[in-house]
Structure 1
Amino acid sequence: MRAPELTPASRIYVAGHRGLAGSALCGRLRAAGYENLVLAGSSEVDLRDRAATTRFLTEAAPDVVVLAAARGGGSGANAAEPADVLSANLRIQVNVMDAARAAGVPRLLFLASSAMYPRESRQPVRETSLLAGPLEPTTEAYAIAKIAGMAQVRAVREQDGLPWITAIPTNLYGPGDNFHPTSSHVLAGLMRRIHDAAVAGAPSVVVWGTGTPRREFLHADDLADACLTLLAHYDEPGPVNVGTGRDISVADLAKMLAETIGYTGAIEFDPGRPDGTPRKVLDIRALTGLGWEPKIRLRAGIASTYQWYLDSLTLPRQREAVRGHEMVR
């Protein structure tokens, strides 16, 4: 089956529309003229509930599904609750994809994760590195769930002939991120920690690990642009990396955050905390070959994200996002 063309009349269901990736995608879709969005929060449909998910998608009858809903968090949160992380993500993915099949949804984009790649992957990481070695232990449960989702997309393509696809985003950040002190990812978690130190006038702030691991960071708005490119131009069984192709050490990231925030205290490292994967930067040639490229440089993206964070501290609704995401977005 050929991938359907997106039109202003297309009914597009964004699962996880209140999360970082989903909210950015909804904004980008609306800016591009796609107003017929199908949206429902976890209070309206719990995607971990199979029957409720099936009823919802049958009634909604979308033309396109973007599966951005997930239970996530930083390596600490994933390592602390691996059974909950694995169970929640498997149920969300299986329920949404099975319901989409039953409803005859012709197009689905699954957002996986670069956590799926082996811990010791050759850099930059190509899509062919998947399943080629052991995973990073601290994010193994989350990674295995995402691998299962990717496998389900390929199985549906093979069995039903539907043009479903998978994208593998690198580490995301941006307005709407999770700044919770224990469940956030590295950039947002560091931003909050350094901000709190600046407000308190603390002489130093502690960063987990040695500071030597290198990471790649993609602004959520760039991911949203990539999703539109993939929905319009990509129809292959293999997944596609979405990143910037540029990485930075955790130590240099902390320095950049401190400069943006205006913190002048010392940055100390705690080598007793896990570093995680030594380096991870994605090979994005498959996606750039479709005409997409990232537009938001890290320093500028950090500045706009920090401004959002400051604004969120004065708005009651956004203050809840700063404290932590809903489990299922």
Structure 2
Amino acid sequence: AQPFRYLAHNGEINTVQGNRYWAMARGHKFASPLFPEVEDILPLVSTWGSDSMSLDNMLDVLLSGGMDVFRAMRLMIPPAWQHVPGMDADLRAFYEYHGMIMEPWDGPAGIVLTDGRYAACTMDRNGLRPARWVVTRDRIITLASEIGVRDYAPEDVVASGRLMPGQMIAADTETGELLLPADIDERLRRRQPYRRWLQRYVQRLDDVDNGGFSAEPLGGDPLKTQQKLFGLSYEERERVLRVLALDGQEAVGSMGDDVPMAVLSDKPRSLYDYFRQSFAQVTNPPIDPLRETIVMSLSTSFGRNHNVFEETPDHARRLVTASPVLSRDSFQRLLA
């Protein structure tokens, strides 16, 4: 049992630590006449409870501030849209626009929720939690991780299906209408002229002139000097980079690491060695932009944050890069 206000889920929110930090940093951007003294309710998201609690806190804030439940859930838990071929252009624009407002709360998780009117279920972009639904003649909808949770005669089934990764389904308890993923997508894409806003205000780094900058290739002693300045060891050069360059694949090694942590080492270490990535070995969200391109993207945007509750062109005033790692040429374009 998950005794929260709006939702429950059967997975985990692996990005919850980052989501909490961003909620704290962005707290003053949640301005709504429905809670005029937003400073009195900061922090908006619990920093000590479970991932479910933090997720519910954020949905609570968005709905309490007047946001539509479908927009709120797609803002928090969008599907993988960046590299999906054939996606409607206006729907893609909706997700790109909202990706500039808030980062995803990433699973894997299957989430059920209600705002009092709509009873809904959504899958995160990984789709690692099954969700099957059945509608019978008595107008009862059963949604569970497998078929057979409720007894019914096969001839009484009028509709059935399963949620695919990133999809959402909802039942309107006031009208009795069942909203399938396509119905919800249609509602979202028509809310605002997102595509026009993006076309007018988003600036792509690749389209920015670099001011005539040209990088000369390094070699010989200058290259060795730069390698030493950046702490590139002989082992990294020979065991890692050389394999990548010659074979086009990553070197295979064991999981053991007998090297002292950088902070405790008596040898000079690269700045990057002081950081370690925290992830779940089995259920972690995609982290490989080459092998898992269909469900992840390295696209990064720079720009000012605005009020989360306002749907205005201001959110689209961003500089977008294909990767957070900038080459010398890209950095010059950014400065330009």
Q: TM-score range by the shorter chain?
A: under 0.3
TM-score, structure 1 length as denominator?
0.27
Structure with bigger gyration radius: 2
Which structure carries more helix by proportion? 1
TM-score, structure 2 length as denominator?
0.26
